[in-house]
Amino acid sequence: MPILQIRQAIRDAMKEEMERDERVFLMGEEVGYYNGAYKCSEGLLDQFGAKRVIDTPITETGFAGIGIGAAMCGLRPIVEFMTFNFSAVAFDQILNNASKIRHMTHGQFGVPMVFRGPNAAAHMLGSTHSQAFEHFYAHIPGLKVIAVATPYDAKGLLKTAIRDDNPVLFLESELMYSVKGEVPEEEYLIPFGQADIKRKGDAVTVITWGQGVPVALKAAELAAAEDLSCEVIDLRSIRPMDEAAIIASVKKTNRAVVVYHGWPTGGVGGDIVARIQELAFDDLDAPVLRVCYEDLPMPYAENLENLILPSPERALAAIRRVAYKR
């Protein structure tokens, strides 16, 4: 089975879907002649030409709106944000147009499109370039929100997103584009709303997604050395969420920790805690804990940034705490 980087898996997913369906096209800053800021669209301009791989000016509101209009007219755009931090400029287009047009036109118009790009903190990019946007977008009915952490998941879920008849926010990571993994040569799709158990265990459930996955897996490895067996669940799909997988694991382990990028107030992590206490309260032997950003703007200085970000050591401390081994 071929070994690909996440960036290559994303490129292959777009390439295959553009070959399969002539309505699919890519637009965004530097996606064409520069082959993408992170080389996720390498070679696509040469293969498909400038009508289907479109370099845009630095106008997120404009090209997000063009993409929405194209989707309403029957095309299937992939809109790349150089970082999801820049999607804030286009927030009105996503909030009030992409998510609501099907509802407000009583189904006369759909918006089959993908917004994709790197999300959350990278490395020493400061406060305005280090925000985790799944917490904003998962709040909005009418959107689907996906976060990937492996090449296999990136390709299978992006192909599903491109074929979906609804707007999909597809969240990647600058720090994980070079992560390698096996990707089948034959076509495959991964359905939305289906979590993946990245590591089996029976003592503590660790729920995570996106950049939180390697943190959770490392913490589980450290916990195993202390005879604590962690089950690591990668949600992959945040909206819709695989609630059944979370609850089944918690009923088995009776303990849960949520590891993710983002602030603690008003986010997906708090939503997961609420679902666990609503649906598995009697199964819990300890409070559900979260390991995420500190509730502060992200510093630029590396030593301070490391204090803000979730780490395997902080996750391990939470695992010990719910297992009453602190």
Residue 167 tokens, joined: 């707007």
3-state secondary structure the chain: CCEEEHHHHHHHHHHHHHHHCCCEEEEECCCCCCCCCCCCCCCHHHHHCCCCEEECCCCHHHHHHHHHHHHHCCCEEEEECCCHHHHHHHHHHHHHHHCCHHHHCCCCCCCCCEEEEECCCCCCCCHHHCCCCHHHHCCCCCCEEEECCCHHHHHHHHHHHHHCCCCEEEEECHHHCCCEEECCCCCCCCCCCCCEEEECCCCEEEEECCCHHHHHHHHHHHHHCCCCCEEEEECCEEECCCHHHHHHHHHHHCCEEEECCCCCCCCHHHHHHHHHHHHCHHHCCCCCEEECCCCCCCCCCHHHHHHHCCCHHHHHHHHHHHCCCC
What is the DSSP secondary-structure string of 213-238? HHHHHHHHHHHHTTT--EEEEE--EE
Catalytic residue numbers, as ranges: 60, 129
Report DSSP letters for 192-215, one per residue. TT--EEEE--SSEEEEE-TTHHHH
Local structure of 147: helix, strand or coil: strand
Q: Which residue has the tokens 């917004």?
A: 115
